[in-house]
Amino acid sequence: MPKLMYSHNNLPSPESFRKHLAEAMAQSNPLDDLLELSLELREIENKRGMTSKDFYEQYQQGKMGDDEESVQWAIRYRAYLELKKRVELALMRQAVWGERPIT
């Protein structure tokens, strides 16, 4: 998954940021990103002793709190679900219509 890292001392100009973002996205591979998110979620699940699905259901009901770790877990899980859906749809299009998958 593309990551751009800046500090308060070296913030890029808007034009430079757009260029860096475009370059990072061009080098991105949705399947690699999905696997990376899956591994990150598995580590969190092992640490917290529950599945991301169970956590997220409880989180949405307000039962998991809003500490930084919980918020980050929820963000990662939502990103995982969205990316998984995109990959599945692209593979389905490829299988059914022979179209090149859109990433």
Give a yes or no: residue 82 inside a domain: yes
The total domain count for the chain is 1
3-state helix, strand, coil in the chain (%, to 5): 70, 0, 30
Average confidence score pLDDT of the chain: 88
Question: How far is the C-alpha of 103 from the C-alpha of 91, rounded, in Å?
Answer: 10
pTM attached to this predicted model: 0.71
pLDDT, tens only, 78-91? 999 999 999 998 88
Would you say residue 40 has pLDDT above 70?
yes
Give the range of the structural domain holding residue 46, as residue numbers without chain letter.
29-97
Query: Is 42 domain-assigned?
Result: yes
Answer yes or no: is pLDDT of 58 > 80: yes
How many angstroms separate the CA atoms of 24 and 28, rounded?
6
Q: Is residue 19 part of a domain?
A: no
The answer to whether the beta carbons of residues 73 and 52 sit under 8 Å apart is yes
In percent, how much of the chain has pLDDT > 90? 50
